[in-house]
Structure 1
Amino acid sequence: MNLEPMFLAVDRVAGGRSVDYTIPPAMRDHPRTRRAFVAIAWLLAAELVLGAAAVIVAVMLALGGAALPFSVWMRTFVVLAMTLTLFYFAWRARKGYYWAYSRLRLFSKIFPVITLVLAAIPGLYPFWMVTEQILFSLIMIGVADYLSSDHMRDAFPKRPRVPRRS
């Protein structure tokens, strides 16, 4: 069963104008590029485990009679959905799609900032969730660090601008 046409349709929505732009196979298959994506996959797996643990803790607390605010439930499910989206971006970037690398790099820089700002709001989340958010941010900073390395920026050059016809 070939699912690639379905993924290409998702790519068209997520990738915008650069959906067809891919990096050269030599850079995609370069050992440093492959090692970076292995490390990123492990970091995202840690994010997934952390997110799943947050859901389990929230469910266990709720079953134990604790009243959890809506923000806790929203946060737990958003983190899981977000992490799955980041896995998709990482997978497509590993295949050489510049748009996926670009989105993954952008989100890995933005999400830690948003998460830490929310964690700093007094009373918004219980202590255990603030701790989870700080760990989440640290892991995302690790992803951003790999993606922003000199090698990865060289491997994923921006698409050359094509002059517009008048």
Structure 2
Amino acid sequence: MESNIHTPPSAAHHDHPRTRRAFDTAKTSIKVYGALSAVALLAVIVVSSSGHMVNTFMWVRAVLLPVVAVLIYRMAVSASRGSRRAFERVSALAVIMPIAIIGVDLIPGVCPLWYAVVQVVCMLPIIQVAYIIRGSALRAAFPKSR
């Protein structure tokens, strides 16, 4: 019996083992980023409670980045289920976030060196996601549209 359902060429790639592994690795990296961001928030809390200076910038970023981790993870899950829009968003964020986070931290006086180092460490898993998203397995699953 034949089916009249037309499956786009890229749909077969979503179930390919390489694609699944790539998405699993990306999702794990995002979880690691979330955990590191939570540790960064705890560090800000500890430093602040010990009487050291913690500025508003550090508080805002420390609170927002774990929340962003949850949002990016949800987008990665949607992308792994075939959402091109979610895939494109994760792809863009994985490139933009490290540049923006590290770039702002390099501005003299914005934050202390220890906090900048913590933020760089938090961005390492996101940099890995950027490489995974641009890898051949996921490019095949989401070919560029014309």
- What is the TM-score normalised by the length of structure 2? 0.88
The alpha-carbon distance between structure 1 residues 123 and 23, as it changes in their structure 2 partners (threshold 3 A), is: farther
Q: Distance in 2 between matches of 1:134 and 1:141?
A: 10
Q: Distance in 2 between matches of 1:151 and 1:96?
A: 13
Offset, 1:141: 1.4
Q: Does the Cα contact within 8 Å between 1:23 and 1:98 map onto a contact in 2?
A: no
Which amino acid is 1:73 matched to? W
Q: Distance in 1 between matches of 2:102 and 2:47?
A: 23
Which amino acid is 1:49 matched to? A
Q: Distance in 1 between matches of 2:63 and 2:145?
A: 34
RMSD: 1.6
1:83-104 CA distance string (max 9 Å, x none): 1111011010011111000000
- Correspondent of 1:56 among 39, 42, 46: 42
| Unmatched segments (≥5 aa) in structure 1 | 1-21, 161-166
Q: Distance in 1 between matches of 2:145 and 2:63?
A: 34
Question: Does residue 1:154 correspond to 2:140, yes or no?
Answer: yes
Offset, 1:159: 4.2
Q: Distance in 1 between matches of 2:12 and 2:131?
A: 22
Q: Which moved more, 1:24-33 or 1:111-120?
A: 24-33
Using CA pairs under 8 Å that are at least 6 residues apart, name the structure with larger relative contact order, 1 or 2.
2
The alpha-carbon distance between structure 1 residues 38 and 68, as it changes in their structure 2 partners (threshold 3 A), is: same
Question: Does residue 1:86 correspond to 2:72, yes or no?
Answer: yes
The alpha-carbon distance between structure 1 residues 23 and 38, as it changes in their structure 2 partners (threshold 3 A), is: farther
Which amino acid is 2:48 matched to? A
Q: How many residues align?
A: 139
Q: Does the Cα contact within 8 Å between 1:98 and 1:158 map onto a contact in 2?
A: no
Instruction: Report % sequence identity.
Output: 27
Which amino acid is 1:106 matched to? A
Question: Does residue 1:100 correspond to 2:91, yes or no?
Answer: no
Which amino acid is 1:115 matched to? I
Q: Distance in 2 between matches of 1:23 and 1:78?
A: 38
